[in-house]
Amino acid sequence: RKEVEQDPGPFNVPEGATVAFNCTYSNSASQSFFWYRQDCRKEPKLLMSVYSSGNEDGRFTAQLNRASQYISLLIRDSKLSDSATYLCVVNLMDSSYKLIFGSGTRLLVRP
Amino acid sequence: GAVVSQHPSWVICKSGTSVKIECRSLDFQATTMFWYRQFPKQSLMLMATSNEGSKATYEQGVEKDKFLINHASLTLSTLTVTSAHPEDSSFYICSAGGTSGFNEQFFGPGTRLTVL
């Protein structure tokens, strides 16, 4: 079983749609959670951290369910520029500070 | 956010050549840097954790004699792919930060290596 699992997609949605991505992680000791965005042939960039109480940043809402070891990302009012691969990332926050990446969910927003 | 640079951004070489990739933190000091590899349509896989002034910590399955890491200063880490072969062709990305007091990791733009 992969440490971080995501639906690879692609999700093909029209502009203005709402789309949700899910992610599960296997290590219950995981402490920090993130969503990164990666454009084709580019490096990942932090989209947002995910907090236990859930958090929102503009059109983006992230939620965490520790009991189910489940993380979600909701994108409202999709823009063409949202087309990218979204990576679910966890950090054990142990002495190694390693980030564990999911394989990503690809989003295509069409006009 | 902090800036991390990588050089070169892409390289094409013949099989058997050694290739050095540099990773620099431009506006902060990074005691720890991370090296990742990403094959097409796959996730980033951590190769090693580079610690300034000490030996790197390699992930299981990564050959330390093939992927030489040097972290001689707080702003520079290098990854040398020795005797590269076509199967080493990949996207190599470094990051810095993400340690105590610095939760976010900042990624370099990556180096695309193609071995013929």
Q: Do A43 and B109 touch (CB under 8 A)?
A: yes
With beta carbons under 8 A apart, name residues in chain A contacting B3: none
User: Strands B111-115 and B10-13: what pairing?
Assistant: parallel
The mean pLDDT of A59-75, rounded to a whole number, is: 95
* Inter-CA distances, A19 with B3, B4, B32, B47, Å: 31, 31, 36, 33
Instruction: Supply the pLDDT for residue B100.
Output: 56
Residue B31 burial class via C-beta count within 10 angstroms: exposed 0-12, middle 13-18, buried 19 and up: middle
DSSP at A8:
-
With beta carbons under 8 A apart, name residues in chain B contacting A88: none
User: Strands A84-91 and A32-38: what pairing?
Assistant: antiparallel
Instruction: Supply the pLDDT for residue A96.
Output: 66
CA-CA distance, A63 to B115, in Å (whole number)?
42
Q: Tell me which residue has tokens 């000791």.
A: A29
Name the percent of chain A lying above pLDDT 90. 73
Choose between B73 and A96: higher pLDDT. B73
Nearest chain A Cα distance for residue B75, angstroms: 18
pLDDT confidence of A93, banded at 50, 70, 90? low
CA-CA distance, A111 to A98, in Å (whole number)?
38
What digits encode the pLDDT tens for the residues A1-54? Answer: 788 999 988 999 999 999 999 999 998 888 889 999 999 889 999 999 998 888
Instruction: Supply the pLDDT for residue A56.
Output: 94
B78 within 8 A of B23, measured Cβ to Cβ? yes
The mean pLDDT of B26-48, rounded to a whole number, is: 89
Instruction: Supply the pLDDT for residue B104.
Output: 73
The b-or-e profile of A30-62 (16+ CB within 10 A means b, else e) is: bebbbbbbbeeeebbebbbbbeeeeeeeeebbb
Q: Which residues of A touch B (CB under 8 A)?
A: 4, 32, 41-46, 49, 87, 91, 96-104
The mean pLDDT of B73-89, rounded to a whole number, is: 94
CB pairs under 8 A between A and B: 48
